[in-house]
Chains A and B, each alone.
Chain A
């Protein structure tokens, strides 16, 4: 017994190393899947507020670009207003339209923390459960798809960015509606992605737009990027592979919209029911 104690005190550094390494490993495995709530991330009071402060300062630098992009979006939205269409039928009477029911609502939020140079990138925004954000919602910006919500705090939430090794989005070619899967490329280029598992009968064209499909959690038709190379070197899936230039410039991301799908709960409930029946 005495010898054992002497042995342990002599090599105490090693035993302490084992103890601390294992406790860190436990935290790593337990919390990194974002399944459980933890305070060690950027939605807690201290880190969230610090990031928000610094972001206020940084916001001034890119005011001009943000204004430009907002003005552009305003212009395109104005184009969709009823008043900007010329009505060529003579008779006009108002109908209470019950065909359309609002499916998507958009919650705007400012990006307060963002990274693009890690293998797994996360974005923190300044709205949380109080604004109606819930886990699993999609996030877009005027240019295209940004990611999905993985963790929600009271005032902040974390987005798993498109630039993440586990983000896979159901995508489609804009012209022919051929389905495929989209993921970030392996070489950490924040502008490059990969569209794979497109059926062999599809005939994609260079520069064709890649958009979200009807199967994704985003509204259909949100742009993801453009095809930049028809035959990608990366071997993934068993069908056609294409390199894609991502539409969103993540390094300049300032404002995003969180997509609240009103029918998501119903759809998920149905699909869970179906899984139970199988």
Chain B
């Protein structure tokens, strides 16, 4: 149990640092900006209580907001992400049959499930984030294009980090 908490704490700090000091400066053709930090919410254990999940998502969002100078924006997108995560997992995953404290990682769940999971959650988060950031109907096509291209970039990074920490013995 304490191992899980420690692991997630390290993951939280590492992802916030990567997001704020590295990925914040990256942008492809002013269109595609990755938000890898949502990986923290994606990888929380299956068994986490809903309340804790929402609190963690909220805190993560506010932390990113503090660095991006957009109070509340990322918090909103992260809370939506947590909600979509609960729905997606309750539809697609059977909770029985796991040993202790499983996490929805690429190595445990297989490529097809994890790809769909990451893609759908990232799309929800990014569309909400970009539409809310611009909040102007006259630029809607531009905003949607940015959200879509950024989602592709983010999912790409999520899959790479999944492969980077791939443990082959976990797969059944």
| Residues of chain A having any CB pair with chain B under 8 Å | 12-14, 16-17, 19-21, 23-32, 38-42, 44, 46-47, 50-51, 54, 113, 115-120, 122, 124, 158, 165, 186-190
Interface majority SS on B: helix, strand, loop or mixed?
A: helix
Known contacts: A27-B75, A31-B72, A32-B73. The answer to whether A13 contacts B83 by CB under 8 A is yes
B residues near A (Cβ < 8 Å) are 20-21, 24-25, 27, 30-31, 33, 50-51, 54-55, 57-58, 61-62, 65-73, 75-76, 79-80, 82-83, 86-87, 132-134, 136, 138-139, 142, 146
Structural contact, B69 and A21, CB atoms closer than 8 A: no
8 residue pairs bridging A and B, Cβ less than 8 Å apart:
A12-B50, A17-B83, A21-B76, A28-B76, A40-B72, A54-B21, A158-B69, A186-B142
Contact B71 A16 (CB under 8 A): no
Residues of B within 8 A of A190 (CB): 30
Return the contact of B54 from the options A17, A50, A188 (Cβ within 8 A): A17
B20 / chain A contacts, CB cutoff of 8 Å: 50
Which of the listed residues A40, A54, A120, A158 has the most CB atoms from chain B within 10 Å of its own CB? A40
Q: Which residues of A contact B27 (CB under 8 A)?
A: 116-117
Contacts of A122 in B (CB 8 A): 69
Evaluate contact between A20 and B50: CB separation under 8 angstroms: no
* B57 proximity list for chain A (CB < 8 A): 20
Q: Across the two chains, which residue of chain A brings its CB closest to B86?
A: A13
Contacting residues, chain B, for A20 (C-beta < 8 A)? 54-55, 57-58, 79, 82
Q: Compute how far the CA of A46 lies from the CA of B63 in the bound complex, rounded to whole angstroms.
A: 11
Residue of A nearest to B84 (CB): A17
Chain A residues near B73: list those with CB within 8 A. Answer: 28, 32
Complex: A39 Cα to B65 Cα, angstroms: 11
Contact indicator B136/A165 (Cβ below 8 Å)? yes
- State whether A41 touches B66 (Cβ < 8 A): yes
Whose C-beta in chain A lies nearest to the C-beta of B132? A28
Q: Select from chain A the residue with minimum beta-carbon distance to B139.
A: A186
Tell me the complex Cα distance, A24–B71, Å.
8
Q: In the docked arrangement, what's the CA distance between A122 and B30, Å?
A: 16
Query: Do A32 and B76 touch across chains, with their CB atoms under 8 A apart?
Result: no
Determine whether the beta carbon of A40 is less than 8 Å from that of B65: yes
Are B76 and A115 interface neighbours, CB within 8 A?
A: no
CB <8 Å contact, B71 and A120: no
Partner of B71, one of A27, A46, A116, A186: A27
